[in-house]
Chains A and B, each alone.
Chain A
Amino acid sequence: MKPADKLPRWAEFGLLPAINLCAALLISGAVIRLIGESPWAAFKLMAAGAFGAQDSIGYTLFYATDFVFTGLAVAVAFHAGLFNIGGEGQAYVGGLGVGLVCLAFGSCSPWLVIPLAIASGCAFGAAWAFVPGWLQARRGSHIVITTIMANFIASALMTYLLVNVLIKPGQQSPETREFGPGAAMPPVHELLARIGISFAPSPFNMASLLALVACALVWAFLWRTRWGYALRVVGQNPQAAVYAGISPERTIMVAMTISGGLAGCLAVNELMGSQHRILLDFPGGAGFVGIAVALMGRNHPVGILAASLLFGALYQGGSQLSFDMPHVNRDMVILIQGLVILFCGALENVFRAPLAALLRPRAARPSP
């Protein structure tokens, strides 16, 4: 980014993402038109699918919760100058940690199981991310390569465990048995019912509260503690970090550990909130969506919350769309999501220069 392309804050965090989103929707609309459907009707269906009813809002928030965890994971690593592509694998292995606790203590009180499962999910995800972190810090292996490879290893490991070790006896599909009653994250609609508010049932559960707490903690850690300060110095200028007496190696390992722990929390939402068992490939790509969420949210917890809501809506609205419009199948929905990721993530700077030129104070503009 050239210094000339600096935008005011409101444009950086509001206008530019909005323009990128519009561009993505514009192209999506053109594609929908091409296959003979009305783009306007399609987008209306999507919006209704995401926010039109109580249960659809619940689903949107449920998906958004996944993306908050993985988005935060990417952001924390990013502030330390690391591109953690391995959120998917870390979330998957985090699921093993959550699942093992839930399977073992599922019959105990939720007050015991839930904290234990959260801690265990964090620890497993963190351990899985620590290995690439250690390799980067001590051996100079590039984090992008090692985290991608760790994704494959995680996938193979979990497949092996689910097929050969953890599978419920006497069943074909590679899943564990269902968790005990103490291992369920309380769904929001049940809690609301208790205070007399009726809300349509959905997997939207108390893990969302955990996600909000995680946002606040990440913010406080990065910008209010000296460890967060050190982490950001390492990310911005490793030489200045050495000069300041901060060890970049140790900081890299700490950042990756925190990042993996956050990704591991995804399993709390998915497994304890919705599936109640460990099943094959349950993160379903949320680890990768987290990259787009972090990019779009400018690696700031507030931005990540907003971006997660958007992607949650795209997920939920998209599946509704493919259900209601016969020509728009699942692949078309993935295309739309892909375009949003492309424009908000990879191409986020396309409109930056023209926007910066447009917003530059008149006095500073070159005279023609």
Chain B
Amino acid sequence: MEPESPALQAPGGPPGPALELCGIDKRFGAVHANRSVSLAVSKGSIHGLIGENGAGKSTLMNIVYGFHRADAGEIRVNGRRVEIGRPRDSIEAGIGMVHQHFMLVERFTVLENIVLGAEGGAMLGRGLGEARSGLGRLGRKYGLDVPLDAEAGHLPVGMQQRVEILKALHHRAEILILDEPTAVLTPAEADQLFRMLALLRDQGKTVILVTHKLREIMAITDRVTVMRQGSVVHETATRDTSPKALAEQMVGRAVLLKVEKAPAKPGAVLLEVRNLEVRDRLGVPRVKGASFSLRAGEIVGVAGVSGNGQSELIEALAGIRVPTGGSILLGGQDLARGSTGLNDRRSHGIAHVPEDRLRMGVVASFSAEDNAILGYHARQRFNRSGFMRRRAIREDCAEKMASYDVRPPSPSLRITAFSGGNQQKLVLAREIDCGPSVLIVGQPTRGVDIGAIEFIHRRIVALRDSGKAVLVVSVELDEIMGLSDRILVMAGGEIVGEVPGSEATEEALGLLMAGVKGDASR
């Protein structure tokens, strides 16, 4: 079932392109997502595709996989032109894709998931049997061991990703596209994935790695293509470039990769969390006895692989979830007790920038000015005995836009007309401008372009320097290490370690994130 094609890999000579994109153009209404993009990916190589959010990487790959149809341009696989109008065409052309959000049926077994779309006839029995023996071979060849009879939803994420890869290989993919594959992995799991990808390359497969992380591009790819605003702006062999050069290509100007900040001067404890326990609706504990304190004038980062209780922790602190145990002490008052209500957190001086901006932080159909008062709409500044003070709201929003460099500075524009970075700046402005003593920030720069990242980081540091306490939760280790004065690591709902920001290394944090308890400094 593995079509071996040694003829195409003429030893010595440069292998031809496995995938060629010529003049791909795609518009969504007024948005020009891909501007005549051309790209050639050599057979048997790992090709990186890097760019900021909204640069058009995902659109391009979705066109290759048949989710979208290009307005113009053509796709060639092994030099032959192919028409791709739906995912099936792409699978038949030998292209497999591992999506950022896995496309697995959670209640199916691994085997059932893998044969999905290639069942081989009306009755499942034979197809499953053949798949089982075929997968055994594949697994041995590429070192992809997965328990075929386990329920897919019960596997750890790293394993689920392997299932996705194995599924693509089972569908005879020669070209494998991975979209932001490391977003859900610990650093160690990511290394393992990269070893697997290298093995696939050495066996003659072609891999396209879509990412916005420079580190990954440098670590694993052979060539790299940089996209910006829908166009390819740069292509080079990876060994001929540097992270700094790539970052500048992505943004189009020089950037600072490090957060500049003076040493912290921690003051009194502002917020103290003791044995906090949070359960979800099903009663499953998500935060198990977390204890820590936040001091004035420091930034505390919470590192961890996504889904290890960080979201529940900050939602409990912000008052969105009611903790099932423990206490949250602020100025001698326990906020976890009684029905202090979700509303009071703001009046106690706790502001919150939520992790998922579009799901929680803004109302997508509202204007910028209406979003700039979300949560503060009942304050007297914005309404007089119930009636909204439209002019005050507009002026306030214009001020926020000016001081946080939100572009375009038009308060009446719909929030979704702004880029992710500008939306986030407005949310940050809203939360910081109300003068909190404690700011809780989830994923400060998710879906935010590099230019805005610098700005947001500077604002968070400035808030710290003005003597406030900041808690930052992020899945981006670079961000946590750059911003934090102290780093807490969460794994399995527990705080498994604490590392001073200045001494943190990726390896040490990675070990803790993977659940290896103990002193990180060893």
Q: Which residues of A contact B (CB under 8 A)?
A: 2-6, 224-227, 229-230, 232-233, 236-237, 239-240, 242-245, 247, 360-361, 364, 366-367
Q: With both chains docked as a complex, state the minimum distance between the C-beta of B282 and any C-beta of chain A, in angstroms.
A: 16
Other-chain residue from A6, A225, A227, A244 in contact with B29 (beta carbon distance below 8 A): A6
Distance in angstroms between the alpha carbons of A208 and B28 in the assembled complex: 45
A244: which of B28, B364, B375 is its contact (CB, 8 Å)?
A: B375
- The answer to whether B378 has its CB under 8 Å from any CB of chain A is yes
Give B364-383 interface residues, CB cut-off 8 Å to A. 364-366, 370, 373-375, 377-378, 382-383
**A240, B363: Cβ atoms closer than 8 Å:** yes
A196 to B217, CA, bound (A): 86
> Quick one: which of A233, A247, A360, A361 has the most chain B CB within 10 A?
A233
In the complex, the answer to whether A236 meets B365 with C-beta atoms within 8 Å is yes
- By a CB distance below 8 angstroms, the chain B residues around A239 are 359-360
Identify B346's interface contact among A225, A245, A247, CB under 8 A. A245
Q: How far is the CA of A366 from the CA of B70 in the complex (A)?
A: 10
Instruction: Across the interface, name the chain A residue whose C-beta is closest to B344.
Output: A245
Contacts of A236 in B (CB 8 A): 363-366
Residue contact B377 to A226, C-beta cutoff 8 Å? yes
Q: Is B30 in the interface zone, CB < 8 Å from A?
A: yes
A367 B377 Cβ-Cβ under 8 A = no
A225, B387: Cβ atoms closer than 8 Å: yes
- Contact A233:B363 (CB < 8 A) given known A226-B377, A243-B320, A367-B72: yes
Q: Which residues of A contact B31 (CB under 8 A)?
A: 3
**Per-residue CB proximity of B329-346 to A under 8 Å, as 1/0?**
000000000000111011
Does B71 interact with chain A (Cβ within 8 Å)? Answer: yes
The reply to whether B365 and A225 contact each other, CB–CB distance below 8 Å, is no
| Count of interface residues, chain B, beta-carbon cutoff 8 Å | 38
Q: List 30 A-B contacts (CB under 8 A).
A: A2-B28, A3-B28, A4-B29, A224-B387, A225-B387, A226-B378, A226-B382, A226-B387, A229-B370, A229-B388, A232-B363, A233-B374, A240-B360, A240-B361, A240-B362, A240-B374, A242-B320, A242-B342, A243-B320, A243-B361, A245-B341, A245-B346, A245-B375, A247-B342, A360-B30, A361-B30, A364-B30, A366-B71, A367-B71, A367-B72
- Is A227 touching B386 in the complex (CB atoms < 8 A)? yes
Q: Does B354 contact A (CB under 8 A)?
A: yes
Contacts of A237 in B (CB 8 A): 359-360, 362-364
The distance from the CB of B270 to the nearest CB of chain A, in whole angstroms, is 21
Nearest chain A residue, comparing its CB with the CB of B27: A366
B52 close to A (CB within 8 Å): no
Where chain B touches its partner, the secondary structure class is loop
* 3 closest cross-chain pairs (CB), A and B: A245-B343, A4-B29, A366-B71
Q: Tell me whether A366 and B364 are in contact in the complex, defined as CB-CB below 8 angstroms, given that A226-B378, A244-B375 are known contacts.
A: no
Contact between A225 and B364, CB atoms less than 8 A apart: no
| Shortest distance from the beta carbon of B463 to any chain A beta carbon, whole Å | 20
* Cα(A156)–Cα(B420), bound, Å: 54
Q: How far is the CB of A341 from chain B (nearest CB, A)?
A: 25
In the complex, are the beta carbons of B27 and A243 less than 8 A apart? no
Whether A245 lies near B388 (C-beta < 8 A) is no
Contact of B388 among A225, A242, A361, A364 (CB under 8 A): A225
Q: Are B25 and A366 in contact (CB under 8 A)?
A: yes
Q: Which of B289-326 contact A (CB under 8 A)?
A: 318-320
For B361, the chain A residues whose CB sits under 8 A away are 240, 243
Query: Which chain A positions have C-beta within 8 A of B388?
Result: 224-226, 229
Contacts of B346 in A (CB 8 A): 245
**A6 CA / B31 CA spacing, docked (Å):** 13
Contact of A366 among B72, B342, B365 (CB under 8 A): B72
What chain B residues lie within 8 Å of A247 (beta carbons)?
342
CB-based contact B363/A364 at 8 Å: no
Instruction: Let me know if B390 is at the binding interface, CB within 8 A.
Output: yes
Measured between beta carbons, the chain B residues less than 8 angstroms from A364 are 27, 29-30
CA A244 to CA B25, docked complex, whole Å = 41
In the complex, are the beta carbons of B377 and A229 less than 8 A apart? Answer: yes
> Which A residues touch B43, using CB under 8 A?
none
Cα(A230)–Cα(B374), bound, Å = 9
Say yes or no: A224-B390 contact (C-beta < 8 A), given A236-B365, A237-B363, A366-B71. yes
Q: How far does the alpha carbon of A225 sit from the alpha carbon of B387 in the complex, in Å?
A: 4
What residues of chain B lie closer than 8 Å to A366, measured between beta carbons?
25, 27, 71-72
Q: Is B167 an interface residue (CB 8 A)?
A: no
Nearest residue, chain B, Cβ from A3: B29
Nearest Cβ in chain A — how far from B231, in angstroms? 16
Instruction: List the A side residues contacting B386 at CB < 8 Å.
Output: 225-227
- Docked Cα-Cα span, A226 to B346, in Å, equals 17
When C-beta atoms are compared, the residue in chain B nearest to A242 turns out to be B320
Complexed CA–CA distance, A290 and B101 (Å): 42
Q: CA–CA, A366 to B26, complex, Å?
A: 8
| B249-289 Cβ-contact flags toward A at 8 Å (1 or 0) | 00000000000000000000000000000000000000000
Q: A233-B363, A236-B366, A243-B320 are in contact. Are A4 and B72 (CB under 8 A)?
A: no
- Most chain A C-beta atoms within 10 Å of own C-beta, residue among B29, B71, B345, B370: B29
**B352 contacts partner chain A, Cβ-Cβ < 8 Å:** yes
* B454 nearest CB across to chain A (Å): 26
Least Cβ–Cβ distance between B28 and chain A, in angstroms? 6
Bound together, the chains give a CA A4 to CA B27 distance in angstroms of 9
CB-based nearest B residue for A239: B360
Distance to closest chain A CB from B361 (angstroms): 7
Q: Chain A's nearest CB lies how many Å from the CB of B335?
A: 14
Nearest chain A CB to B67 CB, angstrom units: 14
Listed residue (B71, B361, B363) with the most chain A CB atoms within 10 angstroms of its CB: B363
* Chain A residues near B27 (CB-CB < 8 A): 364, 366
A364 to B375, CA, bound (A): 37
* CB proximity to A under 8 Å, residues B16-43: 25, 27-31
